[in-house]
Structure 1
């Protein structure tokens, strides 16, 4: 209000000086014609119009700069301001402003009016926006908590991925071992079938000695083939399971089977001719 009052006073003084200049420079005679008076008034109008227009433009630009400062502070604190242009022409509000100006500047021993006793807003640059500051601080704290929680979740996700990779590797290893165990089972089934075949042959040897002698050579060849298969399978298993405990177990099993085959040979030798 003081700044606006000062600028208004300067504008009025400028207008008064325009009239005074006209009086001092042109009103030097006692009588003037109509054309001379019209010419003087036109010149005065031009000067006053230019001064008033310049002052109004300056006032408008000054108000814009003032509002820019307020809006910049509001933007800094994330405030949303709303304006009502209709209040700028509210006669009641304008009269209240005039009364405030009159009581503020016309009397040196002024008393505080009812409007002055109302609570005032503290300036933003002096810590007046305490609630907003607390809100911003709270949001920043929540943001830090969320960031920490995100880092924790990322760490957990990384650990879960590593664990998943380990489990997949263990599953592949288990599948390989199960495949190897399947091969061992098939070989054991073959050996068991061969054992059953030999036992049947021995049981029938007493009654079918001649037939057994005729087929003995063929059986020996089959036995050699089986032994060759067992030897080949044993070498393959030794290569495949040389790093596992299953290799040692299988080796013991094959050793036992070989002992059984040797015993079977001894038993079969009883049925061969003396020559």
Structure 2
């Protein structure tokens, strides 16, 4: 397979993979053949079939064959992925990055060359590789590996030297920064100390002024409290004495009213008026009794004038006076 540009070792690996793929393909073809044979033996026992029966048999066969072909395609894709995984792992050990051109997988010329190789050279390669046994993928030749490793080591050493130089530069810069930081901290401490002394003096003056002000306000407040307490006490005493005086005056007024009523009742005019009123009441009662003995008739009442008699007027006046 020199026309593909592969060496003998890689050619043998390709032959091994093709042998594996051919065995899988033959096994799957046998499975498809068995599906057809099973259909012939189980369903084609009768001489005549209806259209529905034929359609049913074809649908069942189609489903079985489709499943087998799909399974084989999936299995082939997965095995190809595993093969690529092995190749990539070997390449990563030596810091290689492999690339695959997917468009070349549909190259007709290369596919025809593979088919021709499978027909002609494959049988010869089978005889040559019978004694080789099952071998794993081997790494690249030692000369190429050593060259790659030497190049990689030189590259890493160069990068290491560059990093060391950068580290020394950074260390010197860091030391300079630390010195500047130390100087700045010292200057800041000195400045804070000076400012602290000045601020302490100013704060002490302000505090003394505030203490004096607070003391004066406290004295004024205590004085005001004393005056207000004294005035409040005097007002309370005046209020109590005023209440006592008011009660005494009210009691005297009540006694004076009682004495006046008693004196008025003891006067002769009051007694005469009371006697006159009692006599008049007796007269009125006597007159009422007399009037009840002589009642007027209905006709005479109708013919009488609506104006009341003098006796009736007097009687009404007496009743009003008694009510009063």
Higher helix residue share: 2
Q: State the TM-score, normalizing by the size of structure 2.
A: 0.40
More relative contact order in 1 or in 2 (CA 8 Å, sep 6+)? Answer: 2
Q: What is the TM-score of this pair, normalised by structure 1? A: 0.46
